[in-house]
A and B are shown apart, each in its own frame.
Chain A
Amino acid sequence: MLKANIIPLFVIIPLLSAFLISLLGKYLKRQFIYVFSNISCFLLLYFSFYGLNMLRSCGSNIFVYKIGGWAPPFGICLVFDGLAGFMLVIVNLIAFIVNIYSLNYIEKYTDKPKFFTLVFLMLTGMNGLIVTGDLFNLYIFLEVASLSSYALVAFGTDSEDLEASFKYAIMGSLASIFVFLGIAILYGFTSTLNMADMAMIIAEKTGSRIIPFVSVLFIVGFGTKAALMPVHAWLPDAHPAAPASISAMLSGVLIKTLGIYALARILFNVIGISSAISSILVFLGALSLSVAVLLAFAQTDLKRLLAYSSISQVGYIILGIGLATPLGILGALFHLFNHSAIKSLLFLNAGAIDYAAGTRDLREMSGLKEKMPVTANTSLAASLSVAGIPPFAGFFSKLIIIFACIEKGYIGYAFIAVIGSILTLATFMKMQKLAFFGKLNEKYNYLKEVPLAMKLSMVVLAVICVCGGLLLLPRWNFFLSDAANVLLEGSHYAVKVFEAVK
């Protein structure tokens, strides 16, 4: 039972940090805030790995923490299983790296304590959403993360930022209402809010039309958070408007935790996925990945291009999850991991260019490779990885997703995924050519490479992009396969949760 005691830390550490920074931030030196925020991010990352390692070593593949000692279904429980561990590692890894990056990057913004407060609140929301075993709790954490992200998008307080934040807030709140409605209906249907208990009751009461109705509410609600077409429209405004390190968090982990993880957890483990829902997800995924990449190709604003590409890559992940086959889910989760590293890195690169050259317009940049070699090379690695060029990690995840489509007999969807991949390649080659290759624009002769902390975080992410493919090796593939198994078990999740609390 002792082992489960680390689970609340994933909520406590960021919440406490947010609280302390907002309370004491004004009176402390800036350096102290930096050090403090990095230490708490590091602790979170450490505990994520520690929990994952414990999960491996102790044989049982799930820990449950009972809040206040009340056993579920009456008390609230926190659950740490393969999938939660997988997501926690991704979220906290990206958060840690982005935090290092922010040390230099947020110099140009005022009121740093508020920035870190909001970041830690967002982190609280994401971590809490991942570990919670209670549906209403999930909604609370969803809102915590969403609200802080609305504020972070508007952090620059330009008119553009405010407009984007407004749109994001409206659409996000609407999505939250759908989710809330879904939860309320489920509560009425099952008389419980505990996810494991709910899963057991739903598994017994079959044939009701409430379940498909609620599924649609969840697809639209969480789909909006994940920026699935046709409910994606807030993302191309919101992600470019945020400060680069926040864009990296939003595109890298927020849409995946709030959207994909929550959707997959509820659809697979709680209410059970039907073939109709699965084919809707596949269709929406294919739609997103093909249409968004066309839009990305047409952009000239670097961050906007990346934002559209995020929609497209989320389409791949949803496509893989929607297949609901072992290979499809494995590919989708692997792509989720890769994409969070890739897209964070690309947004950090965009931030580095903005930091050094002060522009986001691709037409104004040219030949930056000469002056900013680290940014250029890491960006190249990320671009090739997202475009699916071997031996980068993105190649393998796309390969698995496409093979999974073919395996299920969806040759047409596989073809769409291939075409999407080709267009992604074209988009990112265009970006590389305009930004980094060619002749150096003369007005950038004074340019200098960005400071050390920014370089360091970009290099670490680039290493992940290059070496991510190693996760498929038998020695390390437990990271992915444990997570995929949780989804594949379906409502057996409930049995395991109840076994663990006995």
Chain B
Amino acid sequence: MNKFYPWFRSDNLNGFIGLAIGLFAVLTLLYSVKFMAGHRRLIEYYACIVLTAVASLLVIFSNHLIILLASWGFLGLTLYLLINMGDDKASAAAKKALIIVGGTDALMLLGIGIIYYLTGTFQMDKIKISLSSNGFLLPLCAYLCIAVACFAKAGAMPFHSWIPDCAQSAPVPVVAYLPASLDKLLGIYLLARISLDLFVINNAIISIILMLSGAFTIIAAVMMALVQHNMKRLMGYHAVSQVGYMILGIGTANPIGIAGGIFHMLNNAVYKSCLFFSGGNVEYRANSSELDQLGGLARVMPLTYISCLIASLSISGVPPFNGFVSKWMVYQGIINNWQMAENRWQMIVPILCLIAAMFGSGLTLASFMKLIHAVFLGQPQAKQRANLKEVAWQMWVPCITLAIICVVFGVFANQLPLKYFILPAVAGVGFSGAWYAGFSTLLIIIGLALGLFIFKFSKEKLNLRQDRAFIGGEDMDLRIHPVTGTEFYNTVSEFGALKKIYSRAEAGFFDIYEQGKKLISAAGKVFQYLHNGILPTYLVWMLLGMLGIFFILLR
């Protein structure tokens, strides 16, 4: 890699991300062989997938801000083209995605311009800007401009709103590939890069901004996920929610928190792609992604079910899977901040964030139980065809591979990913409460085995009774009124104060894109009013403009 210096550089932080990008590209290509077969624009599709991988590698390894900016922007273009290959609504989603991602790229350009103005170089390893020096405002602007681009790419609030739309409309491999894995890797990588290397964050304000926006993202997105009825849209909101943990981790600005954030980025990419791939399997076979139209698929699609279950538990932070390890590290980072606080006021932010993170984790589990129940358990829908079966190997191999990685990264966290990938990247990580998965995993396995043993060999002795289902004293025919996973969660959205927020959120009230559109249209109306098409008006402007310039120059 030294040959390409100073244009490109590889170090401990970007090395393993490059590996991960390669892995996801290969898995996506494998998955697409079956899933995308028969699509009209296959050549364009595969070209975009490969170009995306190449551009991502350029972003990751580049040591020159302009190369980084150009390849980063190019990813917006491939994202746009790839989303456009989805269903009827895809063009709206693609437009939204490119406006948000490409628009924030322009801000990043401004940030890079300011960095060049301050330091006189584009070479990333030579840049070290202190945020507390005199002239504090300009560096802060630069940092925030680039951070906004990272937020939009990774999908943190308030720049998240393209992800759920994209998740619902774009082809599944595209969602698993870009918003779920690569965009997260890149966004969080750049955020980590600027926070760790390019800028010296010895300033509490940035830390607080990052932590609060992370915490807010976790809670708000997971609340939205809770009430979704579409499998892909639900997962899309989780793709937003999980970013909160990464930003929270990096925002803590202490080594364990940052390491946790980066590890969570890797883990999230793994289980989120796994979830989208399994969701894609379901959609491929059942031709629907609406939770109400699915059910009981565990029996016919066992491999998909298992991988989806593992990934769901992992995203919810259930030990011993990988999501737990990284979340635990983020929590430790927050607790460290809490302990370091000098007075009571400084304690508020860490406490709030810790509560938000833990609560968000619980809600994640809740919403995934809804998904697992609605899709894989419960009663099969009457409408469903009898010929449902497991998908082809090209489609389940990626799921299973990623599920295995979830387990391995969780159980052997200290031996594998942390040792080789994460800890070398972040200096000075000290665990205040180490978690050794080995023993508890053993206990879990023993418990499961014991349960299975009892279930298998003492079946006859169990006193089983099957009866009709009834609710409120009345018989219920499960074939007509199946117990769906979604109904229970509807109560959440009808819950007093939340109801109003939900209805507004559905109307796009909190969507920076929708609000921006309204604002631009309003401003456009004002100027349109001035362009009334009458010649004398225009001549008056001309003369007024000339008088104005005369006044300025000749007064």
B546 beta carbon closer than 8 Å to chain A: yes
Interface centre among A231, A390, A391, A395 (most CB of B within 10 A): A390
Contact A220 B106 (CB under 8 A): no
Contacts of B114 in A (CB 8 A): 406, 411
B12 beta carbon closer than 8 Å to chain A: no
Interface centre among B107, B525, B528, B535 (most CB of A within 10 A): B535
Interface flags, B520-555, vs A, CB<8A=1, else 0:
110111011001010101110110111001101110
Known: A171-B539, A389-B77, A391-B74. A209 touches B552 (CB 8 A): no
Contact among A212, A220, A422 with B103 in the assembled complex (CB-CB below 8 Å): A422
Contacts of B316 in A (CB 8 A): none
Contact B539 A429 (CB under 8 A): no
B71 beta carbon closer than 8 Å to chain A: yes
Contacts of A295 in B (CB 8 A): 524, 527-528, 531
Contacts of A229 in B (CB 8 A): 545
Contact B553 A407 (CB under 8 A): no
Complex alpha-carbon distance, A433 and B74, angstroms: 19
Contacts of A233 in B (CB 8 A): 531, 537-538, 541-542
Distance between B515 CB and nearest chain A CB, rounded to angstroms = 13
Contact A395 B554 (CB under 8 A): no
Contacts of B92 in A (CB 8 A): 433, 438
Known: A402-B113, A414-B113, A433-B92. A280 touches B549 (CB 8 A): yes
Interface flags, B477-493, vs A, CB<8A=1, else 0:
00000000000000000
| A223 nearest in chain B by CB position | B545
Contact A167 B538 (CB under 8 A): yes
Complex alpha-carbon distance, A406 and B527, angstroms: 28
Contact among A387, A407, A414 with B102 in the assembled complex (CB-CB below 8 Å): A387
Contact A395 B99 (CB under 8 A): no
B84 beta carbon closer than 8 Å to chain A: yes
Complex alpha-carbon distance, A167 and B528, angstroms: 18
Complex alpha-carbon distance, A425 and B94, angstroms: 13
Complex alpha-carbon distance, A149 and B171, angstroms: 49
| A163 nearest in chain B by CB position | B533
A447 beta carbon closer than 8 Å to chain B: no
User: Which residues of A (214-254) have their CB < 8 Å from a CB of B?
Assistant: 215-216, 219-220, 224, 229-231, 233-234, 236-237
**What range describes how many residues of B lie at the interface?**
35 or more
Contacts of A406 in B (CB 8 A): 110, 113-114, 116-117
A48 beta carbon closer than 8 Å to chain B: no
| B519 nearest in chain A by CB position | A294
A374 beta carbon closer than 8 Å to chain B: no
A72 beta carbon closer than 8 Å to chain B: no
Contact A276 B520 (CB under 8 A): no
Contact B553 A216 (CB under 8 A): yes
A448 beta carbon closer than 8 Å to chain B: no
| B108 nearest in chain A by CB position | A418
Contact B523 A294 (CB under 8 A): yes
Contact B71 A390 (CB under 8 A): yes
Contact A425 B106 (CB under 8 A): yes
A180 beta carbon closer than 8 Å to chain B: no
Known: A391-B70, A438-B88. A220 touches B546 (CB 8 A): yes
User: Which residues of A (396-419) have their CB < 8 Å from a CB of B?
Assistant: 398-399, 402-403, 405-407, 411, 414-415, 418
Known: A216-B550, A231-B542, A429-B95. A423 touches B73 (CB 8 A): no
Contact B520 A426 (CB under 8 A): yes
B98 beta carbon closer than 8 Å to chain A: yes
B213 beta carbon closer than 8 Å to chain A: no
Contact B542 A220 (CB under 8 A): yes
A47 beta carbon closer than 8 Å to chain B: no
B91 beta carbon closer than 8 Å to chain A: yes
Contacts of A429 in B (CB 8 A): 95, 98-99
Contact B527 A234 (CB under 8 A): no
Contact A297 B521 (CB under 8 A): yes
A272 beta carbon closer than 8 Å to chain B: no
A35 beta carbon closer than 8 Å to chain B: no
A174 beta carbon closer than 8 Å to chain B: yes
A349 beta carbon closer than 8 Å to chain B: no
Contact B538 A234 (CB under 8 A): yes
Complex alpha-carbon distance, A224 and B538, angstroms: 11
Interface flags, A423-445, vs B, CB<8A=1, else 0:
10110011011000111000000
Contacts of B113 in A (CB 8 A): 402-403, 405-407, 414
Known: A403-B113, A423-B520, A437-B84. A230 touches B70 (CB 8 A): no
B76 beta carbon closer than 8 Å to chain A: yes
| A211 nearest in chain B by CB position | B553
B411 beta carbon closer than 8 Å to chain A: no
Contact B524 A425 (CB under 8 A): no
Complex alpha-carbon distance, A302 and B110, angstroms: 30
Contacts of A407 in B (CB 8 A): 113, 116-117
Contact B535 A170 (CB under 8 A): yes
| A234 nearest in chain B by CB position | B538
| A438 nearest in chain B by CB position | B91
Known: A171-B542, A406-B116. A415 touches B110 (CB 8 A): yes
Contact A433 B110 (CB under 8 A): no
Contact A294 B520 (CB under 8 A): yes
Contact B553 A280 (CB under 8 A): yes
Complex alpha-carbon distance, A332 and B414, angstroms: 55
Complex alpha-carbon distance, A229 and B546, angstroms: 11
Contact B554 A388 (CB under 8 A): no
Known: A220-B542, A231-B541, A391-B70. A294 touches B106 (CB 8 A): no
Contact A171 B116 (CB under 8 A): no
| A290 nearest in chain B by CB position | B523
A183 beta carbon closer than 8 Å to chain B: no
Contact A390 B525 (CB under 8 A): no
Contacts of B90 in A (CB 8 A): 437
Complex alpha-carbon distance, A111 and B92, angstroms: 43
Contacts of A167 in B (CB 8 A): 535, 538
B109 beta carbon closer than 8 Å to chain A: yes
Contact B88 A439 (CB under 8 A): yes
A384 beta carbon closer than 8 Å to chain B: yes
Contacts of B535 in A (CB 8 A): 166-167, 170-171
A70 beta carbon closer than 8 Å to chain B: no
Interface flags, A170-186, vs B, CB<8A=1, else 0:
11001000100000000
Interface flags, A355-385, vs B, CB<8A=1, else 0:
0000000000000000000000000000010
Contact A422 B106 (CB under 8 A): yes
Distance between B69 CB and nearest chain A CB, rounded to angstroms = 7
Known: A216-B549, A295-B528, A403-B113. A437 touches B91 (CB 8 A): yes
Contact B107 A418 (CB under 8 A): yes
Contact B554 A209 (CB under 8 A): yes
Complex alpha-carbon distance, A432 and B92, angstroms: 10
Contacts of B91 in A (CB 8 A): 433, 437-438
| B546 nearest in chain A by CB position | A220
Interface flags, B79-120, vs A, CB<8A=1, else 0:
000001000101110110011001101110110011011000
B36 beta carbon closer than 8 Å to chain A: no
Between A and B, 23 residue pairs with Cβ closer than 8 Å are: A167-B538, A231-B541, A231-B542, A233-B537, A233-B541, A294-B527, A295-B524, A390-B69, A390-B71, A390-B74, A398-B109, A399-B69, A402-B113, A411-B141, A418-B109, A418-B110, A421-B106, A426-B516, A429-B95, A430-B95, A433-B91, A433-B92, A438-B88
Which residues of A are interface residues toward B (Cβ below 8 A)?
A: 166-167, 170-171, 174, 178, 209, 212-213, 215-216, 219-220, 224, 229-231, 233-234, 236-237, 276-277, 280, 291, 294-295, 297-298, 384, 387-391, 395, 398-399, 402-403, 405-407, 411, 414-415, 418, 421-423, 425-426, 429-430, 432-433, 437-439
Q: Which 3 interchain pairs have the tightest Cβ spacing?
A: A298-B524, A437-B91, A233-B538
Additional A-B contacts beyond A167-B535, A233-B538, A399-B69 (18; CB < 8 A): A216-B546, A216-B549, A216-B554, A220-B542, A233-B531, A233-B541, A236-B531, A294-B520, A294-B523, A294-B527, A297-B521, A398-B109, A406-B110, A421-B106, A422-B102, A422-B103, A426-B516, A439-B88
